[in-house]
Structure 1
Amino acid sequence: MAEEEVALRLEAVDAELQGVQAQIAVLCDRQARLLEEQAELRQLIDCCRASEEDDIQIIEQDWSGNFEWDNEASNLLLNVFGISTFRRNQREIVNALMSNKNVVVVMAAGGGKSLCYQLPALLRPGIALVVSPLLSLIQDQVMGLAALGVSAAMLTSTTSKEEEKEIYRVLEKGDGNLRILYVTPEKIAKSKRFMSKLEKCNRAGRLSLVAIDEAHCCSQWGHDFRPDYKNLGILKKQFPKVPMIALTATATGRVQRDLQEMLQILPCERFTSSVNRPNLFYEVRDKKQVAADVIEDIALFIKETYPSNESGIVYCFSRKECEQVADALRKRQISAAHYHADMDSGLRTNVHRRWSSNQLQVIVGTVAFGMGINKPDVRFVIHHTLSKSLETYYQESGRAGRDGLPSRCVLYFRPADVPRQSCMVFSENTGLQNLYAMARYCQSKQRCRRAAFFQYFAEQVQECNGMCDTCAFENDVVEKDVTEYGKSLVQSVMDVAESDKKTTLLQLVDLWRSQLRQAGNHMSGVYGHILQSQTGDKEMSKDDAEQIILQLILDGTLREDFQHTAYATNAYVKAGSAARLILQGKRKVILEQCEKRGPVKTTLDDCAMQSGMARMLDKLRQTLAAADGGLFPYAVLSSEHIKRLSSQVPTSITELDEIIGKTKSSKYGEQIITALNEYTTKNTDDPDTKEASSSKRVATTGGQARQTKRSRNA
């Protein structure tokens, strides 16, 4: 009798233990979700605090008011830089810097960050020091400033001994008219001679300001941390009275405070612009299994959407892929070249210059290409694989459309690409968390793409206006319950673990599909039941299997486990904290699937140079650029200049001065006016010609009427 009681008690304890285990699993799942929400809320608080501090600073000082340098600034803005009006926050930033304040600027690509330090560099006496991480960007900036008649120089690994000696002499003696000096962060960190010359320049009162470009590289929390940026705090310590400006396209509240501390610019004025890029159309496309088919899709998109050879970028995961994709595009009659860090520096520079001069349509690069890119008329950015985070993707895709004209950002996504990235980022701070947020962005078939950026940067959601694939199309999206598939996958992973083996995502896909096929032949057991109840089919596609496995990883039902070999790091799939929940029927797995893509709800105007006059001006600027020492075409006339010239069609140098400024007008004015006159004479039916003629008649009539009224009053 006693034994029976003990057995009953043991059975009760076992049952209670199972209940406790289930509760623990539920609590672990809840803990994981709360930790994720906690991280998001802390990021939101960081950004809110940063925003509140900005608001307080704006109340304390109105930087949009009148200042003694206003007239000179307006004159330089138009007649040197060829810009008629300031963009958002530019005027305020210039005024703060001119008032000897330290400034942090977070401004989206295309917002005009460079002007925020270049204009004060011309307004203030002396030499401005600009620290920039990329040689190609420095070369672009120096060449562009030279075209504007601004004396600028650079100290980099490509600078000759003679040039370096002359720059050091100018820093020490103050001879010449050098206004802006560009250096890499390595120069600050490793050249004592340079720092010595800079100190002499400062003691003589000739160091006007210090600008730190791509300042997010200072912070280990930034998406592109660079160790040499940590040493830039010495600049404020050595030159405490020289105003400093730090600029970046993206930075969370945590990154902003981190870079302020590292640069030793507390307190400072902070100016943050919206992350919204309303001219960019975001789209995620399914990436096919066969590499050649993916290239075919990309080539078809480029040819059909940009038949006039508009510029674009294709980003790839590896250097090898860059070379393969560029070669495949060339075989499909698309002018393309690869760009990555393993190339000879001279070859890299040549590829970049050819692309910037519109001699190449497409540049195929790794993330080594593009930071701070200066080419404004990039019409498309294509990602051959997903980026490692939403912030990185925002930066890379943001290299399109810096001139404000419509541009496309297309990402080709396949779940099997996630482990390739996770092996690279799992050791980084929040690396996997950021990557999985990027994967959720790609997996979603319903959520606005733009809304994901607003949430990530803790910014209030704005209207998308149909400028992403989920908002532009009347898609028929369904939410499929794939819980039974999830259960079988978890069981498969556990079976592999029990046999003391390991499986990658792709290996798991093959194993699971094989199990489903075998069960489907007999339509018996758990797998046969799944096929009958959920698909009625005997075959599971690789694409669907990958989608379900990735969804289980994102939900925490499965997890990635990383192990090193002598040659690589591998990502294996194991049971996650919530695996027991799905087996016990306490969690569902829902997958979004687009059954049918409906009609377009919005129309994207892809062609930047639509009119005949605009195309004529585009060809003219390329001719003028080639004749002027190989300048980049956008340094002669910007897309905004072409837009205004096409609408106003000036007939005199005086009228042209008001559009492109006196510096450019004095260099290219006669050719531009001649070309416009010849075009309007030959193309009287052109819409731009008619519109301009009509506008001039209205303006003339209005002027005559005002003159008559003044005569009568007299």
Structure 2
Amino acid sequence: MATDVLQQQLSDIESKILSADTEIQRLRSVKQALLKKRDELKVRITQQTQEELARTDWNKNDYPWHEQVRKYAKETFHINDFRPLQVPAINMTLSGKDCILIMPTGGGKSLCYQLPALVSDGITIVISPLISLMEDQVMALKRLNYPAAMLSATTPKEEAQTINSALTDPKAPIKLLYITPERLAKSKRFMAKLEKMYKDGQFARLAIDEVHCCSQWGHDFRPDYKFLSIMKRQFPNVPILGLTATATSHIVADVQSMLGIEGCIVLRAPLDRPNLRYEIHPKPAAQKESIKFVADIIRRRFRDQSGIVYCFSIKETEEVAAGLRECGISACPYHAVMNADDRSSVHRRWAKNKLQVVSATVAFGMGIDKPDVRFVIHHSLSKSLDNYYQESGRAGRDDKLATCILLYRFGDIFRQSSSVFTERSGQENLYAMVSYCIDGKRCRRTILSEHFGEDSDIAVNCGSKCDNCDPDTAVTTKEVDVTDIVKTLYKILDNASAKDERLTPLKLLDAWQGKGSKKLKAEGVKSTSMSRERCEEVLATALLEGYLSEDFHCTPYAYISYIVAGPMAEAVKGGNKVAFTFRTRSKRKLSAAEDNESVKKQKTSSGSKEKGATKASQPSCSDGIVIID
């Protein structure tokens, strides 16, 4: 009897649970419908906001602050004319509108918040990722008698107290304050000061330099930039001006969402730098030979001209600088392990042309504003096209001809991939860089332009400003069925796996060429007769196209990249064909008349000061192989 009562109670509870589950499902459906409606409304609001902002003429000169902007531009910055997009950006931020400004390195982004700060009431806060960059900008502004200051961990205590007091004093002589994102994220006292400034109407605007650092998809993500996501919620009426030289459409959308400024106008200047010539060269395998190769380029083409050589590691910056000095070129390393005084000394000597070359890691980057850099050479592969564009863009800021050279070697792919594979989209970004290097046909400028989402066909206007568009270079192509080659690689990998061996790229190459350990030689596989360089290009393209993949393993000292079959392996084993196009580059044969004219030009060029404009005699490495669509 008692059991029947309990059984009835259990039945009632199960019935109620079923009813609750049904109600939960109904509410979930209601929630999903509401979420969909909310998202649709957000999109419509964003679209309408963008349309309204786009209809506004931000270039017109009848804004109430126009005369003041012109006055300060001339008297403080000694500027008579503005560059494209500077006026719209200035007018937008002075109108209280949020804006993201994408402008090439050296295009004049800083002026777009420095000028408005003088015109506005209150103080403009500038977020900057590097203390050295802030120091350089504040020093430059103070030389112009501009009321700027900075707060960082290195700011003397008394000076920091004076600045903090000035933040809430309407009569204080500060119009622009630079701080790092770390300071903002970790100082509750500073945030309290901003709250007081906002309440008193003294928080004029927030400028975020290198705004791409907000995005986890970006090439230079900084965790402390995530804190900036609260700024729009805390200070809704403070306009945000985000500035960067490099951001794809995907990264821009991510930044807008993270900062809470969806629908803001994005001002994007054309990223092509017509005065820069881009070249890819094969990198000699031996370190001494690669340094000698760099030295030969500098002595032959850039004698007594200023330049930067970017290196993969701190050790390499030291070796390259020492090797260049042995070749009679004044060079010093620059990297993060050096103490601040030594780094400043190198920077200062180079800026004053007392030092020809800085051999540097990417630590020598943001804020480098030397106008007469005639060459930037990448001794090793850059980790992404975003990084490469920004680093190479330190050349030719005076708008005169300059040259950007990258030395490409297959082995450098895996040094980089082992360091970036933990980053979100790190490997994808690196492979885009590799594709750029081995592409022996398409205009380098077009590849960069398309990467950043620009539609214009730069190749039409390139002329000879990249090695692939050089009219003196002949390109021959040959389509080759490489299905058997790819299957051979799979046999070598399967054989190694059966013997509990993992193959690094070097070991795979050796096994394919019949070198190295005998146990890695698969039965029935003949050694390839192709050159080492061609084999490397086959492997690189197979990686890019998914026929091979990298598998990373951690040791106590480093991450190691091993090669395994890629996601396309099943299709190949199932009978799909694989075709690559082999491209060979060579100098076009000149007629007798052309040859005489060429000799004359070379003689004239060798006596010219602008040696950065001369063409390379070294052929590009792009005997590239890319998959045929």
TM class, shorter-length: 0.7 to 0.9
Which amino acid is the alignment partner of residue 594 of structure 1?
T
CA distance, structure 2, for counterparts of residue 173 and residue 482 of structure 1: 74
Match for residue 361 of structure 1?
356
Which residue, 552, 563, 570 being the options, matches 1:573?
Answer: 563
Match for residue 236 of structure 1?
232
Match for residue 576 of structure 2?
586
CA distance, structure 1, for counterparts of residue 341 and residue 55 of structure 2: 50
Shift of 1:225: 0.5
Match for residue 501 of structure 1?
501
CA distance, structure 2, for counterparts of residue 253 and residue 516 of structure 1: 46
Task: Indicate the larger mover: 322-331 or 168-177.
Answer: 168-177
Match for residue 176 of structure 2?
180
Distance 1:349 1:70, change over 3 A: same
Match for residue 467 of structure 2?
469
Match for residue 492 of structure 2?
492
Shift of 1:281: 0.8
Which amino acid is the alignment partner of residue 55 of structure 2?
E
Match for residue 434 of structure 1?
429
Distance 1:580 1:130, change over 3 A: closer
- 1:350 corresponds to 2:345: yes
Match for residue 669 of structure 1?
none
- Aligned residue for 1:514, secondary structure, equals coil
Q: Pairwise mapping of residues 292-691 of structure 1 onto structure 2 (< 5 A)?
A: 292-308=288-304, 310-460=305-455, 461-462=457-458, 463=460, 464-472=462-470, 473-479=472-478, 481=480, 483=482, 484-514=484-514, 527=526, 531=529, 540-579=530-569, 582=572, 586-598=576-588, 610=609
Q: Pairwise mapping of residues 107-146 of structure 1 onto structure 2 (< 5 A)?
A: 107-146=103-142
CA distance, structure 1, for counterparts of residue 75 and residue 526 of structure 2: 74
Q: Deviations over 1:256-310 (max 9, x none)?
A: 22222322334423211122111111111001111111111111111222222x3
CA distance, structure 1, for counterparts of residue 254 and residue 567 of structure 2: 33
CA distance, structure 2, for counterparts of residue 59 and residue 595 of structure 1: 46
Task: Indicate the larger mover: 209-218 or 337-346.
Answer: 337-346
CA distance, structure 2, for counterparts of residue 259 and residue 373 of structure 1: 24
CA distance, structure 1, for counterparts of residue 442 and residue 425 of structure 2: 23
CA distance, structure 2, for counterparts of residue 432 and residue 378 of structure 1: 30
The answer on whether the counterparts of 2:152 and 2:180 sit within 8 Å (CA) in structure 1 is yes
- Aligned residue for 2:503, secondary structure, equals coil
Q: Deviations over 1:303-359 (max 9, x none)?
A: 222222x32221111121122112222222222222222222333233223323333
Shift of 1:581: 5.2
Shift of 1:110: 2.1
Distance 1:305 1:79, change over 3 A: farther
State the TM-score, normalized to the length of structure 2: 0.81
- Aligned residue for 2:161, secondary structure, equals helix
Task: Indicate the larger mover: 249-258 or 106-115.
Answer: 249-258
Q: Pairwise mapping of residues 699-714 of structure 1 onto structure 2 (< 5 A)?
A: none
Distance 1:551 1:243, change over 3 A: closer
CA distance, structure 1, for counterparts of residue 419 and residue 81 of structure 2: 44
Shift of 1:517: 13
Distance 1:599 1:274, change over 3 A: farther
- Aligned residue for 1:87, secondary structure, equals coil
Distance 1:525 1:193, change over 3 A: closer
Which residue, 200, 204, 213 being the options, matches 2:200?
Answer: 204
Q: Deviations over 1:576-614 (max 9, x none)?
A: 233465567632342534242337999999999959xxx
The answer on whether the counterparts of 2:203 and 2:238 sit within 8 Å (CA) in structure 1 is yes
Q: Pairwise mapping of residues 158-307 of structure 1 onto structure 2 (< 5 A)?
A: 158-307=154-303
Match for residue 711 of structure 1?
none
Which amino acid is the alignment partner of residue 554 of structure 1?
L
CA distance, structure 1, for counterparts of residue 157 and residue 272 of structure 2: 44
Shift of 1:418: 0.8
The answer on whether the counterparts of 1:110 and 1:404 sit within 8 Å (CA) in structure 2 is no
Shift of 1:76: 2.0
- Aligned residue for 1:375, secondary structure, equals coil
Shift of 1:56: 2.9
Shift of 1:202: 3.4
Which residue, 91, 96, 101 being the options, matches 2:92?
Answer: 96
The answer on whether the counterparts of 2:487 and 2:573 sit within 8 Å (CA) in structure 1 is yes
CA distance, structure 1, for counterparts of residue 186 and residue 416 of structure 2: 33
Shift of 1:381: 1.3
Which amino acid is the alignment partner of residue 179 of structure 1?
K
- Aligned residue for 2:279, secondary structure, equals strand
Shift of 1:187: 0.9
The answer on whether the counterparts of 1:312 and 1:362 sit within 8 Å (CA) in structure 2 is yes
Shift of 1:217: 0.5
Distance 1:53 1:132, change over 3 A: farther
- 1:79 corresponds to 2:78: no
- Aligned residue for 1:322, secondary structure, equals helix
Which amino acid is the alignment partner of residue 469 of structure 1?
D
Q: Deviations over 1:616-647 (max 9, x none)?
A: xxxxxxxxxxxxxxxxxxxxxxxxxxxxxxxx
Which amino acid is the alignment partner of residue 172 of structure 1?
T
Match for residue 707 of structure 1?
none
CA distance, structure 1, for counterparts of residue 157 and residue 545 of structure 2: 58
Which amino acid is the alignment partner of residue 128 of structure 2?
S
The answer on whether the counterparts of 2:106 and 2:369 sit within 8 Å (CA) in structure 1 is no
The answer on whether the counterparts of 1:121 and 1:208 sit within 8 Å (CA) in structure 2 is yes
CA distance, structure 1, for counterparts of residue 570 and residue 238 of structure 2: 61
The answer on whether the counterparts of 1:446 and 1:477 sit within 8 Å (CA) in structure 2 is no
- Aligned residue for 2:514, secondary structure, equals helix
Which amino acid is the alignment partner of residue 290 of structure 2?
V
Identity %: 44
- 1:61 corresponds to 2:56: yes
The answer on whether the counterparts of 1:378 and 1:400 sit within 8 Å (CA) in structure 2 is yes
Q: Deviations over 1:690-711 (max 9, x none)?
A: xxxxxxxxxxxxxxxxxxxxxx
Which residue, 63, 66, 72 being the options, matches 1:70?
Answer: 66
Task: Indicate the larger mover: 415-424 or 475-484.
Answer: 475-484
Task: Indicate the larger mover: 463-472 or 367-376.
Answer: 367-376
CA distance, structure 2, for counterparts of residue 64 and residue 136 of structure 1: 34
Task: Indicate the larger mover: 382-391 or 372-381.
Answer: 372-381
- Aligned residue for 2:501, secondary structure, equals coil
Q: Which has the higher contact order (CA 8 A, sep 6+)?
A: 1
Task: Indicate the larger mover: 56-65 or 557-566.
Answer: 56-65
Say which structure is richer in helix. Answer: 1
Task: Indicate the larger mover: 565-574 or 597-606.
Answer: 597-606
Which amino acid is the alignment partner of residue 373 of structure 2?
V
CA distance, structure 2, for counterparts of residue 303 and residue 122 of structure 1: 46
Match for residue 143 of structure 2?
147
Which amino acid is the alignment partner of residue 289 of structure 1?
A
The answer on whether the counterparts of 2:49 and 2:263 sit within 8 Å (CA) in structure 1 is no
Stretches of structure 2 that go unaligned for 5 or more consecutive residues are 1-43, 611-629
Q: Deviations over 1:407-460 (max 9, x none)?
A: 111110011111111112223322222221211111111111111112212211
CA distance, structure 2, for counterparts of residue 606 and residue 247 of structure 1: 39
The answer on whether the counterparts of 1:136 and 1:352 sit within 8 Å (CA) in structure 2 is no
Shift of 1:206: 2.7
CA distance, structure 1, for counterparts of residue 306 and residue 494 of structure 2: 49
CA distance, structure 2, for counterparts of residue 107 and residue 440 of structure 1: 25
